[in-house]
């Protein structure tokens, strides 16, 4: 965009180098052939815009902030108007517009699960020791909180967990490499998706292959694209990200859009408070995701797959990056997959601290180098998705089911679970249970059975409530323990299965604080685009604070109802639609009543 | 073009075209709202080439910028034509149906190989080929230009060279394809419409045509001399020779705006009587014997103007003129009365328009009421049921083509009159800034936050060679005069080229430098190609 | 020699709008259909000359089969669509959108019709709490040059200015949305002062601003000294006196003085947009200013 005007700040040499390396494959927009011939223009600009997010990461990583000189440089080479790039940079919480005070920033999770485990004390303790500390929304470490995402300058980010409040210094240095897979069902025959977790070396392709890896891809190549979709349709597989859309229908819709490039996007932006299942899969069985995506890509006719992974999952990102490199080298990805002549490759994009980017259209905007603001639907991603081209977006867990469907056939898969909820489901158990961790059950298991498997309620007091489906889900009381956690039963009960969150609370936990934290979460994570959500989430939180220590009067309830209505009816996307749902359920169940 | 006195296309068409060739025009700066339409075209997927010695704000939007040597436009156009013919991309059916002189033209451009064209124009071969193929292969394509084409001593030939390209490819006469000269002033087109040209009467009717003359003589009740009058440059020459002794200047500031302005001022000084009718005391008005203060055309007067898409639109008085300023129609009518003709009365703008409709067929269908109601009408509009003409020359696509066939023109490359030498080694070209207009008579009255003042822009390499830097004051001299200017280094300028605007004559008298050599056919002076020398100021 | 038909679709689509069957051309939005049926629909972020961004959500309607309400400004009609514009859900959402905005933004200088809707939909912003105790967009006004005033406590974040500055018209991209959530705001890069930004002062952002957040300095100054008097202003259409594009100007005059300049958004030459000269270059009409 030629009206670009730049400031006077200059990039540092290392910023320049980092940006140059990021855009290396494409080169800058303006290509001066001679003093009398310059190529530039809209097409070159558009082709490079998606490099903005990686370039911002490069700046943040190099300097610890998005410096004016660095941003100017990015804008120069990509011809992005600085105001727009600034708008993008300030959208993400992991990009800082202030210079750093040290060499790392500690993002300490104080979301609903971790705050039950003393997260706020940890923040105070870290601050006291002089660390640059920011409270963070859920880091997806709920089974082993409190957790800290360590964002470093010029060296690897990491995550520390199971924080030991007494030995903070030690914890920050020693804990970071510690393996801790909380998989209480390990070794059980009933496991499907989790069989390899903790069993194989996540960095070894050979190990993956010796555990049956890549048999499904071979079979898929023999089956042909239409047959793959046929089997997936027969399997009855539905999306595990929250919307429960039939995967086969989605794939067929994309495959049928002839004449345009197609994309496969793996939504690994797992950010729903209480959710950590995709992280466990990606960290411990990364090749399975790559194989699954390859099969999916072939089926829908996409030559390009994208993994959009949240920025707070550095370990999963490193392992996936390494795994992609190895599969590429082995001819399992690239221009000629297993000698079939078929093309498929995967690019990883890191989020930068924005829950909203888990919304599929916000995710597209984020990859494309724009603010992660959701788009209005319709049109739907299957016709107008990433780069406005037909796109299938699938959650990590959804994809992880694919190899099994290919190897055993769709009907075998459909035989497990219930009629409308086929296969197994991952559940993220946290809060007041004896054995927090990741669980896998055939659809049909009841809430009570799952809680029992996790050792049942554990903690002071008695079980008071369970949060199902995360912050966007709803609270239930122990009266619901016989509810089978299937798509159909939860829908009928008016609760959400969402991302498989089951978080237990005791009657001694301050649920008012939990609910306030949920309200704060939505206020923080609203993208700000539409009025109902931007202002509604703020007013909702203000109202909850006002009524926190008193029983609400009729005017309060009527205001809450109106706020909930406008957010749920008139917001653009699912964030606003669900921003009041958990809170409403808590109010309806009387969980916040002061005694 | 091809017999019509205006651009062929509507602004809207560029939104739907496939190939945009912006040649000698910095429309982003000089015609910003036209450029909005162009940007829509780019958004809709059109490819754009910019031909300009400078990588202007407009050129920066282009897919390809071709940095041509100043004044080598005909060479480039001939080279592009050569490549189109050489690659067999010419539109043979259109050529056969609608044009004349193709064989001669093909022979004429035969020597303009890519190599020779590149050597003459400075544009690399690959870019010339790309432009030729891109333009010829596009389904719809438009060429637009401004003063970068016409402020040369080869002005008319430059235009003809571009017309050749549209004939060669059939990119004219259809929606989305055409030739668009962007008018520099809000009523240049309207002036032409009204017959303010030495050889034309209203509606671009030929003065030389006796039947036409008789029509006007009957309508006006006076005799019209058959010989064409002088154009502006002729007038100054005639003043210089002492043949022109009295001058009535309306809304023009030649004492600042003429090329080789020192010479122009001398000519004005030498007049027996100078009458200036204007809205401000311009430098020209200050020299006048009589000044007639006038109302602002666009805010204090009723009337019409015609824009670059031939759209006749209404201006309306929103406020009263200040003090003794009067409507221009009143002034002129009064003057007629004082000159002894009592038949004029006190006509309104509408009266004059209705009279025009009776003598100008292209305006005949545009009633005052229709112009009001329809947001302007594009000529030709021969009768009241005619909707007006968004584009011209679809006649060329009729089988067989209607009217006079469009002729190819064999035009020759002729470098700028003033060549560079050791004394004057830099080429100076001029242009507009976004927030200013001409000699700043009007735009000087508002406080623009983006106004940077007049600077001599030079390339990084020339600045180094001369040892000058941004902000430094220098002496800039041409063979006609010297002025003091501030330097600004523009990394987008190629070696050997300097640029300046001309909006602040009271600060920098840029036209002391420019060349008054002119095109014999149009009378336009070669503002775009002076030879200059830049010298460091010697510390006092 | 006329412009080829721009596929003004001959095909009509039948829909049910508030229990009445009507037909509208294929490709129409629900808002178009409402206009055709003379149904008053509030809009804030929609404008004739901009691509709908559907962010304000005040124009929502109920469409049978859609769980959530649907923005009428951007949703094309489909055969058999059953639409309700006056249901309780619709009225609640519209009332609440206006209430949420009115509780956080100064709307006293907003377009008259906006203030009208706040009343007619029965919005009661006061129940959100005392303005000193709740979050609002209160902030100092930005005056950084002689042409523009940016008074962001009046900004409802309708994105119109961003679109007009960006790819709907001007393609300068001097401003964009920055920040997130309630902190989202219209900003230059690093909040640079406007004269230091890429702004070219075309004023097209002012032209589309519905709430008086972006105004001519002339208007701001007159409002501050209480001399701004819209009832005593007239609008005259004319043509810009500068280059040869022939842009249509609407001169707003009060007491024989031009006080602001706009352009009609439905005219094919400008589509409502101007350049700095057309928008601000009129001051020579009042040289004593």
Domain ranges of chain A: 13-89, 104-177, 205-415, 424-506, 511-588
Pair (B361, B261) in one structural domain: yes
Predicted confidence (pLDDT) per residue in B1-38, tens digit: 666 778 999 999 999 999 999 999 999 999 999 999 99
State phi, psi for A127 to the nearest 5 degrees: -65, -40
Sequential DSSP letters for C134-184? S-------B--SSSEEE-GGG----SHHHHHHTTTTT-----EEES-GGG-
- Nearest residue on chain C to B187, judged by CA atoms? C244
- Nearest residue on chain A to B494, judged by CA atoms? A35
| Domain boundary residue, one of B378, B410, B444 | B378
Q: Supply B137's token pair.
A: 């292969």
B478 three-state secondary structure: coil
> Residue A178 — pLDDT band, cuts 50, 70, 90?
low
Probe site for chain A from C174, C181, C186, C193 (most A CB atoms < 10 A): C181
Strand partners, B197: B200
Cβ count near A165 (within 10 Å): 15
Pair (B197, B319) in one structural domain: yes
pLDDT at A179: 67
CATH placement of domain C148-285:
2.20.25.90
Q: Supply A1's token pair.
A: 């965009």
| Average per-residue pLDDT for chain B | 94
Q: What number of C-beta contacts closer than 8 Å exist between A and B?
A: 52
Name the domain count of chain B: 3
Hey, which residues 190-209 in chain C have their CB within 8 Å of chain B? 194-195, 199-202
| Average per-residue pLDDT for chain A | 94
- Estimate to the nearest angstrom the gap between the alpha carbon of C139 and the chain centroid: 21
Predicted confidence (pLDDT) per residue in C197-241, tens digit: 999 999 999 999 999 999 999 999 999 999 999 999 999 999 999
Predicted confidence (pLDDT) per residue in B233-292, tens digit: 899 999 999 999 999 999 999 999 888 889 899 999 999 999 999 999 999 999 999 999
> Residue C2 — pLDDT band, cuts 50, 70, 90?
very low
Q: Which residue has the tokens 């209005």?
A: A376
Domains A205-415 and A511-588 share a fold: no
Residues recorded for chain A: 595
The CATH number linked to B138 is 3.40.228.10
pLDDT value at A64 more than 60: yes
Instruction: State the fold for domain A424-506.
Output: Ubiquitin-like (UB roll) (3.10.20)
pLDDT value at C4 more than 50: no
* C132 interfaces chain A, CB cutoff of 8 Å: no
Q: Does domain A511-588 have CATH number 1.20.1440.230?
A: yes
Domain covering C7-136: architecture: Roll (3.10)
Pair (B52, B151) in one structural domain: yes
> Which residues in chain C are contacts of B188 at CB distance < 8 A?
244
- Given C178, C181, C197, which is nearest A527 (Cβ)? C181
Share of chain C above pLDDT 70, in %: 96
| Average per-residue pLDDT for chain C | 94
The CATH number linked to B353 is 3.40.50.740
pLDDT value at A176 more than 60: no
Sequential DSSP letters for C1-64? --PPP------EEEEEETTEEEEEETT-BHHHHHHHTT-----SS--TTS-----S-TTEEEET
Sequential DSSP letters for A274-342? T--HHHHHHHH-HHHHHHHHHHHHHHHTEEEEEEEE-TT-HHHHHHHHHHHHHHHHTTSSBSSGGGSS-
Gap from C243 CA to chain B (nearest CA, Å): 4
pLDDT value at C1 more than 70: no
Hey, which residues 39-58 in chain B have their CB within 8 Å of chain C? 39, 43
Hey, which residues 151-170 in chain B have their CB within 8 Å of chain C? none
| Integer Cα distance of A114 and A110 in angstroms | 5
Gap from A30 CA to chain B (nearest CA, Å): 9
The verdict on residue B1 lying in a domain is no
Burial of B230 (0-12, 13-18, 19+ CB in 10 A): middle
Predicted confidence (pLDDT) per residue in A295-314, tens digit: 999 999 999 999 999 999 99
> Nearest Cα to A455, choosing from A430, A492, A419?
A430
Pair (B233, B347) in one structural domain: yes
Pair (B209, B89) in one structural domain: no
Cβ count near A312 (within 10 Å): 30
pLDDT value at B495 more than 90: yes
Residue numbers of the domain that contains B487: 426-536
Gap from A343 CA to chain C (nearest CA, Å): 35
> Nearest Cα to A188, choosing from A412, A403, A432, A437?
A437
Does an H or E element contain A440, and which? strand A437-442
The mean per-residue pLDDT over the stretch A14-18 comes to: 97
* A524 interfaces chain C, CB cutoff of 8 Å: yes
Share of chain A above pLDDT 90, in %: 89
pLDDT value at C117 more than 60: yes
Instruction: State the fold for domain A205-415.
Output: Rossmann fold (3.40.50)
The CATH number linked to B509 is 2.40.40.20
ipTM of the complex: 0.95
pLDDT value at C5 more than 50: no
B274 three-state secondary structure: strand
Domain covering A104-177: architecture: 3-Layer(aba) Sandwich (3.40)
> Which residues in chain C are contacts of A82 at CB distance < 8 A?
188-190, 198
Pair (B202, B284) in one structural domain: yes
State phi, psi for B410 to the nearest 5 degrees: -90, 105
Pair (B207, B159) in one structural domain: no
Q: Supply B259's token pair.
A: 């090329």
The mean per-residue pLDDT over the stretch B385-410 comes to: 95
Hey, which residues 194-213 in chain C have their CB within 8 Å of chain A? 196-198, 200
Q: Supply A573's token pair.
A: 């996307």
Task: Judge: A41–B64 Cβ closer than 8 Å, yes or no.
Answer: yes
Task: Judge: C201–B305 Cβ closer than 8 Å, yes or no.
Answer: no
Q: Supply A443's token pair.
A: 């659809």
Task: Judge: A84–C71 Cβ closer than 8 Å, yes or no.
Answer: no
Predicted confidence (pLDDT) per residue in B214-230, tens digit: 999 999 999 999 999 99
| Domain boundary residue, one of B322, B351, B378 | B378
Task: Judge: B60–A40 Cβ closer than 8 Å, yes or no.
Answer: yes
A466 or A125, which is more confident: A466
pLDDT value at B418 more than 50: yes
Hey, which residues 368-397 in chain B have their CB within 8 Å of chain C? 375-376, 387, 389-392, 394
| Domain boundary residue, one of B156, B181, B206 | B181
| Contacts with C83 (C-beta within 8 Å, 6 or more apart), sequence order | C15, C16, C17, C18, C30, C33, C61, C62, C63, C64, C72, C77
pLDDT value at A269 more than 80: yes
The verdict on residue B444 lying in a domain is yes
Delimit the CATH 3.10.20.740 region(s) of chain C.
7-136
Delimit the CATH 2.20.25.90 region(s) of chain C.
148-285
| Integer Cα distance of B238 and B241 in angstroms | 5
């Amino acid at each position: 965009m030629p009206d670009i005007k730049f400031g006077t700040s200059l990039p540092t040499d290392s910023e320049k180098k980092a940006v140059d390396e990021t855009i290396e494959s494409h080169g800058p927009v303006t290509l001066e052939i001679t003093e009398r011939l310059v190529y530039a223009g809209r097409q070159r600009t558009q082709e490079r815009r998606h490099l903005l997010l990686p370039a911002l990461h490069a700046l943040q990583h190099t300097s610890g902030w998005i410096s004016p000189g660095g941003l100017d440089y990015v804008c120069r080479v990509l011809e992005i108007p600085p105001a727009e790039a600034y708008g993008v940079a300030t959208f993400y919480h992991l990009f800082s517009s202030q210079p750093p005070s040290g060499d790392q920033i500690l993002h300490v999770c104080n979301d609903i699960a971790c705050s039950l485990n003393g997260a706020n004390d940890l923040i105070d303790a870290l601050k006291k020791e002089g660390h640059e500390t920011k409270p963070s929304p859920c880091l997806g470490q709920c089974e082993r909180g409190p957790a800290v995402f360590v964002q470093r300058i010029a060296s690897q980010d990491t995550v520390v967990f199971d924080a030991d409040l007494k030995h903070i210094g030690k914890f920050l240095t020693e804990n970071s490499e510690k393996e801790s897979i909380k998989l209480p069902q390990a070794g059980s025959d009933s496991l499907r998706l989790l069989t390899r977790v903790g069993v194989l070396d996540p960095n070894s392709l050979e190990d993956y292959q010796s555990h049956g890896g890549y048999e499904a891809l071979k079979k898929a190549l023999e089956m042909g694209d239409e047959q793959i979709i046929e089997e997936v349709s027969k399997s009855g597989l539905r999306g595990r990200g929250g919307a429960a859309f039939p995967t086969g229908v989605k794939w067929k819709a994309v495959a049928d859009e002839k004449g345009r490039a197609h994309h496969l996007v793996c939504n690994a932006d797992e950010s729903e408070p209480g959710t950590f299942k995709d992280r466990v899969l990606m960290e411990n069985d990364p090749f399975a995701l790559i194989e699954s995506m390859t099969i999916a890509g072939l089926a829908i006719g996409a030559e390009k797959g994208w993994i959009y992974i949240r920025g707070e999952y550095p370990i999963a990102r490193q392992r996936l990056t390494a795994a992609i490199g190895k599969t590429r080298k082995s001819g399992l990805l690239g221009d000629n997959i297993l000698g079939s002549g078929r093309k498929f490759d995967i690019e990883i994009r890191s989020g930068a601290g924005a829950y909203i980017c888990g919304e599929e259209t916000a995710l597209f905007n984020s990859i494309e180098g724009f603010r992660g603001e959701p788009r209005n639907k319709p049109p739907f991603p299957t016709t107008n998705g990433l780069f406005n081209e037909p796109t299938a977006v699938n959650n990590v867990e959804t994809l992880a089911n694919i190899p099994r469907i290919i190897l055993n056939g769709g009907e075998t898969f459909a035989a497990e679970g219930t009629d409308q909820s086929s296969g197994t489901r991952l559940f993220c158990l946290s809060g007041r249970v004896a054995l927090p961790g990741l669980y896998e059950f055939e659809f049909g298991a009841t809430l009570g059975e799952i809680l029992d498997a996790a050792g049942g309620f554990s903690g002071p007091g008695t079980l008071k409530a369970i949060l199902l489906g995360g912050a966007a889900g709803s609270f239930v009381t122990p009266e619901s323990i016989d509810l089978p956690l299937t798509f159909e039963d939860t829908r009928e009960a008016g609760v959400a299965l969402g991302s498989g969150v089951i978080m237990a609370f005791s009657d001694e936990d301050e649920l008012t604080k939990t609910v306030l934290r949920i309200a704060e979460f939505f206020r923080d994570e609203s993208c700000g685009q539409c009025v109902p959500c931007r202002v509604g989430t703020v007013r909702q939180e203000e109202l909850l604070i006002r009524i926190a220590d008193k029983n609400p009067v009729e005017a309060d309830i009527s205001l809450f109802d109106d706020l909930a209505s406008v957010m749920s009816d008139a917001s653009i996307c699912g964030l606003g639609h669900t921003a009041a749902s958990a809170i409403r359920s808590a109010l309806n169940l009387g969980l916040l009543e002061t005694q | 073009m091809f017999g019509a006195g205006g651009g062929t296309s509507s602004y809207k068409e560029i939104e739907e075209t496939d190939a945009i060739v912006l040649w000698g025009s910095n429309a982003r700066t000089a015609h910003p709202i036209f450029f909005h339409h162009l940007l829509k075209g780019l958004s809709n997927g059109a490819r754009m080439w910019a031909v300009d010695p400078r990588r202007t704000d407009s050129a920066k939007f282009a897919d390809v910028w071709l940095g041509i040597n100043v004044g080598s436009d005909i060479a480039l156009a001939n080279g592009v034509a050569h490549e189109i013919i050489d690659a067999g991309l010419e539109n043979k059916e259109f050529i056969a149906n609608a044009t004349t002189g193709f064989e001669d033209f093909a022979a004429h451009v035969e020597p303009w190989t890519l190599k020779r064209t590149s050597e003459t124009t400075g544009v690399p071969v690959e870019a010339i080929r790309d432009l030729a193929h891109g333009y010829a292969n596009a389904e719809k394509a438009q060429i637009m230009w401004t003063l970068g084409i016409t402020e040369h001593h080869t002005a008319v030939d430059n235009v003809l060279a571009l017309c050749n390209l549209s004939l060669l490819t059939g990119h004219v006469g259809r929606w989305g394809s055409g030739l668009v000269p962007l008018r520099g002033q809000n009523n240049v087109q309207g002036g032409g419409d009204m017959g303010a040209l030495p050889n034309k009467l209203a509606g671009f009717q030929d003065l030389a045509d006796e039947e036409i003359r008789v029509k006007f003589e009957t309508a006006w009740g006076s005799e019209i001399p058959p010989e064409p009058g002088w154009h502006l440059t002729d007038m100054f020459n005639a003043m210089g020779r002492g043949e022109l002794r009295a001058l009535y200047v309306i809304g023009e500031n030649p004492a600042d705006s003429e090329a080789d302005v020192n010479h122009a001022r001398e000519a004005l000084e030498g007049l027996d009587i100078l009458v200036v009718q204007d809205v401000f005391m311009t430098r020209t008005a200050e020299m006048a014997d009589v000044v007639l203060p006038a109302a602002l055309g666009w805010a204090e007067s009723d009337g019409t103007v015609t824009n670059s898409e031939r759209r006749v639109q209404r201006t309306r008085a929103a406020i009263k003129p200040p003090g003794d300023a009067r409507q221009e129609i009143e002034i002129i009518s009064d003057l007629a009365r004082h000159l002894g003709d009592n038949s004029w009365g006190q006509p309104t703008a509408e009266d004059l328009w209705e009279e025009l409709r009776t003598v100008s067929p292209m305006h005949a269908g545009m009633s005052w009421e229709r112009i009001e109601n329809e947001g302007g009408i594009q000529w030709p509009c021969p009768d009241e049921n005619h909707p007006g003409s968004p584009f011209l020359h679809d006649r060329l696509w009729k089988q067989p083509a209607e009217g006079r066939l469009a002729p190819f023109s064999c035009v020759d490359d002729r470098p700028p009159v003033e060549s560079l030498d050791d004394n004057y080694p830099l080429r100076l070209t001029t242009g507009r800034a976004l927030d200013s207009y001409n000699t700043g008579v009007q735009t000087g009255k508002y406080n623009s936050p983006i106004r940077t003042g007049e600077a001599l822009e030079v390339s990084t390499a020339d600045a180094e060679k001369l040892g000058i830097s941004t902000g430094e004051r220098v002496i800039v001299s041409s063979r006609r005069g010297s002025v003091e200017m501030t330097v600004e280094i523009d990394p987008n300028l190629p070696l050997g080229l300097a640029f300046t605007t001309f909006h602040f004559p009271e600060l920098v008298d840029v036209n002391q430098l420019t060349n008054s050599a002119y095109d014999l056919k149009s009378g336009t002076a070669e503002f775009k190609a002076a030879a200059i020398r830049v010298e460091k100021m010697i510390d006092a | 020699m006329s412009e080829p038909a721009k596929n003004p679709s001959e095909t009509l689509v039948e829909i049910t709008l508030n229990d009445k069957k009507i037909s509208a051309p294929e490709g129409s939005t629900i808002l178009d259909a409402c206009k055709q049926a003379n149904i008053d629909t509030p809009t804030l972020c929609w404008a004739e000359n901009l691509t709908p961004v559907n962010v304000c959500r005040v124009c929502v309607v109920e469409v049978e089969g859609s769980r959530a309400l649907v923005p009428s400004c951007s949703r094309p009609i489909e055969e058999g669509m059953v639409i309700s514009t006056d249901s309780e859900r619709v009225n609640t959402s519209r009332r609440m959108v206006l209430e949420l905005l009115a509780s956080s933004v100064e709307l006293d200088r907003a377009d008259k019709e906006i203030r009208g809707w706040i009343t007619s939909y029965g919005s009661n912003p006061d129940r959100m709490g005392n303005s000193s105790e709740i979050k609002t967009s209160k902030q100092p006004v930005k005056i950084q040059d002689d042409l523009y005033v940016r008074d962001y406590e009046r900004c409802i974040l309708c994105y119109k200015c961003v679109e007009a500055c960006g790819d709907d018209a001007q393609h300068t991209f001097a401003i964009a949305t920055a920040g997130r959530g309630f902190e989202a705001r219209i900003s230059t890069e690093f909040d640079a002062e406007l004269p230091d930004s890429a702004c070219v002062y075309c004023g097209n952002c002012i032209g589309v601003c519905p709430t008086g957040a972006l105004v001519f300095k002339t208007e701001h100054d007159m409002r501050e000294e209480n001399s701004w008097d819209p009832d005593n202003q007239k609008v005259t259409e004319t043509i810009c006196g500068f280059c040869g594009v022939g842009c249509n100007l609407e001169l707003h005059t009060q007491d024989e003085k031009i006080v602001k300049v706009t352009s009609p958004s439905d005219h094919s030459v400008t589509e409502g947009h101007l350049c700095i000269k057309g928008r601000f270059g009129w001051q020579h009409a009042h040289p004593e200013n």
